Protein backbone atom coordinates (compact mmCIF):
# COMPACT_ATOMS: atom_id res chain seq x y z
CA UNK A 1 0.00 0.00 0.00
CA UNK A 2 1.52 3.37 -0.98
CA UNK A 3 2.19 5.98 1.68
CA UNK A 4 -0.15 8.95 1.93
CA UNK A 5 0.78 11.38 -0.85
CA UNK A 6 1.73 14.89 0.15
CA UNK A 7 0.95 16.28 -3.27
CA UNK A 8 -1.68 18.85 -4.12
CA UNK A 9 -3.54 19.18 -7.42
CA UNK A 10 -4.71 22.56 -8.69
CA UNK A 11 -6.98 22.61 -11.74
CA UNK A 12 -7.42 25.84 -13.70
CA UNK A 13 -9.44 26.30 -16.84
CA UNK A 14 -7.77 28.80 -19.18
CA UNK A 15 -8.95 32.41 -19.12
CA UNK A 16 -11.74 33.61 -21.39
CA UNK A 17 -10.92 33.08 -25.08
CA UNK A 18 -12.22 35.02 -28.06
CA UNK A 19 -14.55 32.10 -28.85
CA UNK A 20 -15.84 32.03 -25.26
CA UNK A 21 -16.60 35.74 -25.53
CA UNK A 22 -18.42 35.21 -28.85
CA UNK A 23 -20.45 32.27 -27.51
CA UNK A 24 -19.02 29.76 -29.99
CA UNK A 25 -17.99 26.11 -29.80
CA UNK A 26 -14.19 26.10 -29.90
CA UNK A 27 -12.95 22.53 -29.77
CA UNK A 28 -9.41 22.15 -31.14
CA UNK A 29 -9.49 25.54 -32.89
CA UNK A 30 -6.47 27.47 -31.61
CA UNK A 31 -7.91 30.80 -30.48
CA UNK A 32 -6.28 33.46 -28.27
CA UNK A 33 -7.31 34.86 -24.92
CA UNK A 34 -9.26 38.08 -24.58
CA UNK A 35 -7.98 40.91 -22.38
CA UNK A 36 -10.48 39.70 -19.80
CA UNK A 37 -9.07 36.18 -20.14
CA UNK A 38 -5.55 37.43 -19.46
CA UNK A 39 -6.90 39.15 -16.35
CA UNK A 40 -8.60 35.95 -15.21
CA UNK A 41 -5.34 34.03 -15.52
CA UNK A 42 -3.51 36.74 -13.57
CA UNK A 43 -6.14 36.61 -10.83
CA UNK A 44 -5.81 32.81 -10.69
CA UNK A 45 -2.10 33.24 -10.05
CA UNK A 46 -2.72 35.84 -7.34
CA UNK A 47 -5.25 33.56 -5.63
CA UNK A 48 -2.83 30.67 -5.64
CA UNK A 49 -0.14 32.89 -4.13
CA UNK A 50 -2.52 34.06 -1.40
CA UNK A 51 -3.24 30.44 -0.48
CA UNK A 52 0.42 29.47 -0.48
CA UNK A 53 0.08 27.19 -3.51
CA UNK A 54 3.41 27.13 -5.33
CA UNK A 55 3.37 24.50 -8.09
CA UNK A 56 6.39 22.30 -8.70
CA UNK A 57 5.28 21.27 -12.18
CA UNK A 58 2.67 22.35 -14.73
CA UNK A 59 0.72 20.44 -17.37
CA UNK A 60 -1.23 22.14 -20.16
CA UNK A 61 -2.83 21.31 -23.48
CA UNK A 62 -1.04 22.28 -26.70
CA UNK A 63 -3.56 25.04 -27.46
CA UNK A 64 -2.48 28.64 -27.00
CA UNK A 65 -5.28 29.67 -24.64
CA UNK A 66 -3.91 27.18 -22.10
CA UNK A 67 -0.26 27.81 -22.91
CA UNK A 68 -0.62 31.55 -22.37
CA UNK A 69 -2.87 31.19 -19.31
CA UNK A 70 -0.34 28.92 -17.61
CA UNK A 71 2.49 31.34 -18.43
CA UNK A 72 0.54 34.21 -16.84
CA UNK A 73 -0.25 32.17 -13.73
CA UNK A 74 3.40 31.22 -13.30
CA UNK A 75 4.54 34.80 -13.80
CA UNK A 76 2.25 35.95 -10.98
CA UNK A 77 3.66 33.18 -8.78
CA UNK A 78 7.27 33.97 -9.76
CA UNK A 79 7.54 30.32 -10.89
CA UNK A 80 8.17 30.72 -14.61
CA UNK A 81 11.27 28.54 -14.25
CA UNK A 82 9.50 25.30 -13.21
CA UNK A 83 8.98 22.39 -15.65
CA UNK A 84 6.00 22.71 -17.99
CA UNK A 85 4.65 19.76 -20.00
CA UNK A 86 2.19 20.09 -22.86
CA UNK A 87 0.00 17.29 -24.17
CA UNK A 88 -2.82 16.89 -26.66
CA UNK A 89 -4.50 14.63 -24.09
CA UNK A 90 -5.50 17.78 -22.20
CA UNK A 91 -6.90 19.48 -25.31
CA UNK A 92 -10.48 20.65 -25.38
CA UNK A 93 -13.10 18.23 -26.65
CA UNK A 94 -13.18 17.79 -30.40
CA UNK A 95 -16.59 19.30 -31.21
CA UNK A 96 -16.56 18.15 -34.82
CA UNK A 97 -19.12 19.89 -37.03
CA UNK A 98 -20.01 22.31 -34.23
CA UNK A 99 -16.52 23.85 -34.17
CA UNK A 100 -16.75 27.61 -34.60
CA UNK A 101 -20.55 27.67 -34.58
CA UNK A 102 -22.67 29.94 -32.40
CA UNK A 103 -24.05 28.06 -29.40
CA UNK A 104 -27.27 30.07 -29.51
CA UNK A 105 -27.83 29.27 -33.20
CA UNK A 106 -27.13 25.57 -32.64
CA UNK A 107 -29.64 25.48 -29.77
CA UNK A 108 -32.28 27.23 -31.88
CA UNK A 109 -31.75 24.83 -34.80
CA UNK A 110 -31.44 21.58 -32.87
CA UNK A 111 -33.69 22.17 -29.86
CA UNK A 112 -32.79 22.34 -26.20
CA UNK A 113 -32.61 18.59 -25.52
CA UNK A 114 -30.20 17.78 -28.34
CA UNK A 115 -28.15 20.91 -27.67
CA UNK A 116 -27.79 20.04 -23.98
CA UNK A 117 -26.88 16.48 -24.85
CA UNK A 118 -24.10 17.62 -27.17
CA UNK A 119 -22.76 20.03 -24.58
CA UNK A 120 -23.08 18.12 -21.33
CA UNK A 121 -23.96 14.43 -21.62
CA UNK A 122 -21.39 11.70 -21.24
CA UNK A 123 -22.06 9.88 -24.51
CA UNK A 124 -23.70 12.23 -27.06
CA UNK A 125 -21.62 13.62 -29.92
CA UNK A 126 -22.46 15.86 -32.89
CA UNK A 127 -21.44 15.20 -36.48
CA UNK A 128 -17.73 14.93 -37.40
CA UNK A 129 -15.39 17.68 -38.50
CA UNK A 130 -15.37 18.32 -42.25
CA UNK A 131 -12.71 16.22 -44.07
CA UNK A 132 -10.67 19.22 -45.18
CA UNK A 133 -10.60 20.67 -41.65
CA UNK A 134 -9.65 17.29 -40.22
CA UNK A 135 -6.85 16.88 -42.76
CA UNK A 136 -5.48 20.29 -41.82
CA UNK A 137 -5.44 19.38 -38.12
CA UNK A 138 -3.80 16.02 -38.78
CA UNK A 139 -1.04 17.81 -40.68
CA UNK A 140 -0.32 20.04 -37.66
CA UNK A 141 3.08 19.08 -36.17
CA UNK A 142 1.61 19.28 -32.67
CA UNK A 143 -0.29 16.08 -33.39
CA UNK A 144 2.37 14.11 -35.26
CA UNK A 145 2.78 11.67 -32.35
CA UNK A 146 -0.88 10.63 -32.20
CA UNK A 147 -1.09 7.02 -33.36
CA UNK A 148 -3.76 5.11 -35.21
CA UNK A 149 -6.51 7.20 -36.77
CA UNK A 150 -4.80 10.35 -35.55
CA UNK A 151 -6.71 13.44 -34.53
CA UNK A 152 -10.34 12.53 -33.77
CA UNK A 153 -13.04 13.86 -36.08
CA UNK A 154 -15.42 14.28 -33.13
CA UNK A 155 -15.59 13.23 -29.47
CA UNK A 156 -18.10 12.58 -26.74
CA UNK A 157 -17.12 13.30 -23.16
CA UNK A 158 -16.69 9.53 -22.69
CA UNK A 159 -14.08 9.63 -25.46
CA UNK A 160 -12.33 12.42 -23.55
CA UNK A 161 -12.29 10.32 -20.40
CA UNK A 162 -10.58 7.57 -22.41
CA UNK A 163 -7.79 9.94 -23.49
CA UNK A 164 -7.40 11.75 -20.14
CA UNK A 165 -7.22 8.61 -17.95
CA UNK A 166 -3.83 7.42 -19.29
CA UNK A 167 -2.32 10.82 -18.52
CA UNK A 168 -3.75 10.73 -15.00
CA UNK A 169 -2.49 7.20 -14.37
CA UNK A 170 0.89 7.42 -16.09
CA UNK A 171 1.91 11.00 -15.25
CA UNK A 172 -0.16 13.04 -12.82
CA UNK A 173 -0.77 10.37 -10.17
CA UNK A 174 2.94 9.62 -9.89
CA UNK A 175 3.79 13.28 -9.38
CA UNK A 176 1.20 13.55 -6.61
CA UNK A 177 2.53 10.43 -4.90
CA UNK A 178 5.98 12.01 -4.97
CA UNK A 179 4.64 14.95 -2.94
CA UNK A 180 4.57 17.57 -5.67
CA UNK A 181 2.12 20.42 -6.06
CA UNK A 182 0.79 19.92 -9.59
CA UNK A 183 -0.94 22.59 -11.66
CA UNK A 184 -3.09 21.46 -14.60
CA UNK A 185 -4.16 24.28 -16.90
CA UNK A 186 -6.64 22.83 -19.37
CA UNK A 187 -10.12 23.28 -20.84
CA UNK A 188 -13.69 23.06 -19.63
CA UNK A 189 -14.27 19.57 -21.00
CA UNK A 190 -10.83 18.07 -20.39
CA UNK A 191 -11.17 19.18 -16.77
CA UNK A 192 -14.72 17.80 -16.62
CA UNK A 193 -13.32 14.48 -17.85
CA UNK A 194 -10.56 14.50 -15.24
CA UNK A 195 -12.92 15.51 -12.42
CA UNK A 196 -15.36 12.77 -13.44
CA UNK A 197 -12.55 10.26 -12.87
CA UNK A 198 -11.29 11.79 -9.61
CA UNK A 199 -14.77 12.06 -8.07
CA UNK A 200 -16.26 8.96 -9.71
CA UNK A 201 -19.18 10.98 -11.02
CA UNK A 202 -22.41 9.46 -12.23
CA UNK A 203 -23.66 10.29 -15.73
CA UNK A 204 -26.15 12.73 -14.20
CA UNK A 205 -23.46 14.41 -12.12
CA UNK A 206 -21.32 14.80 -15.23
CA UNK A 207 -24.20 16.59 -16.97
CA UNK A 208 -24.49 19.04 -14.07
CA UNK A 209 -20.75 19.82 -13.90
CA UNK A 210 -19.63 23.18 -15.28
CA UNK A 211 -16.04 24.45 -14.97
CA UNK A 212 -15.60 28.25 -15.04
CA UNK A 213 -12.64 30.01 -16.64
CA UNK A 214 -9.74 31.19 -14.50
CA UNK A 215 -10.99 29.70 -11.22
CA UNK A 216 -8.39 27.58 -9.34
CA UNK A 217 -9.85 24.32 -7.98
CA UNK A 218 -7.80 22.56 -5.28
CA UNK A 219 -7.80 18.80 -4.67
CA UNK A 220 -6.19 17.03 -1.73
CA UNK A 221 -6.06 13.23 -1.49
CA UNK A 222 -5.94 10.25 0.84
CA UNK A 223 -3.32 7.50 0.57
CA UNK A 224 -5.18 5.91 -2.35
CA UNK A 225 -5.40 9.18 -4.29
CA UNK A 226 -9.08 9.56 -3.56
CA UNK A 227 -10.16 13.18 -3.01
CA UNK A 228 -10.51 14.13 0.65
CA UNK A 229 -13.25 16.53 -0.44
CA UNK A 230 -15.43 15.35 -3.31
CA UNK A 231 -15.53 18.07 -5.92
CA UNK A 232 -12.44 19.76 -4.56
CA UNK A 233 -12.45 23.31 -3.24
CA UNK A 234 -12.46 26.50 -5.30
CA UNK A 235 -10.14 29.14 -3.90
CA UNK A 236 -12.84 31.74 -4.54
CA UNK A 237 -16.06 29.70 -4.22
CA UNK A 238 -18.50 32.60 -4.64
CA UNK A 239 -16.92 33.79 -7.86
CA UNK A 240 -16.65 30.22 -9.16
CA UNK A 241 -20.32 29.48 -8.44
CA UNK A 242 -21.53 32.55 -10.36
CA UNK A 243 -19.15 31.85 -13.24
CA UNK A 244 -20.19 28.18 -13.42
CA UNK A 245 -23.84 29.24 -13.63
CA UNK A 246 -22.90 31.47 -16.57
CA UNK A 247 -21.22 28.52 -18.30
CA UNK A 248 -24.37 26.44 -17.82
CA UNK A 249 -26.46 29.21 -19.41
CA UNK A 250 -24.35 29.53 -22.55
CA UNK A 251 -26.49 29.43 -25.66
CA UNK A 252 -29.70 29.92 -23.72
CA UNK A 253 -29.58 33.71 -23.40
Q: Are the C-beta atoms of 109 and 82 separated by less than 8 Å?
A: no
Dump pLDDT digits (tens) for 130-177: 999 999 999 999 998 887 678 999 999 999 999 999 999 999 999 999
Alpha-carbon gap, residue 25 to 9, rounded angstroms = 28
Alpha-carbon gap, residue 206 to 142, rounded angstroms = 29
Dump pLDDT digits (tens) for 104-141: 999 999 999 999 999 999 999 999 999 999 999 999 99
Rounded average pLDDT over 20-43: 97
The single-letter DSSP state of residue 5 is P
Question: Could you say which of 14, 43, 59, 207 is catalytic?
Answer: 14
Question: Could you say which of 92, 155, 175, 207 is catalytic?
Answer: 92
Is 14 considered catalytic here?
yes
Percent of the chain whose pLDDT exceeds 70: 97
What per-residue confidence (pLDDT) applies to 148? 65
Q: Are the C-beta atoms of 11 and 186 separated by less than 8 Å?
A: yes
The answer to pTM > 0.85 is yes
* DSSP assignment string, 70-89: HHHHHHHTT-TTS-EEE-GG
Is 92 considered catalytic here?
yes
Going edge to edge, which strands form the sheet with 233-234? 84-86, 57-60, 181-186, 8-13, 217-219, 233-234
- The pLDDT of residue 27 is above 90: yes
Residue 227 exposed, middle or buried by CB count within 10 Å (0-12, 13-18, 19+)? middle
Q: Which domains does the chain have, with CATH numbers?
A: 10-248 (3.40.50.1240)
**Pick from 2, 9, 48: nearest CA to 231:** 9
Amino acid sequence: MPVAPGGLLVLVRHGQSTSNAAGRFTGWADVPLTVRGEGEAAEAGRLMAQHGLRPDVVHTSVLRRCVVSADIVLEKLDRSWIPVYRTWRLNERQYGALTGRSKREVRQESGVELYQGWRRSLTAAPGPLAPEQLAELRADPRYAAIRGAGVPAVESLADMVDRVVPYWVDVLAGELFSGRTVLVCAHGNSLRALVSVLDRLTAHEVEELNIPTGAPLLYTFDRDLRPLERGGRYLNPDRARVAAEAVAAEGHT
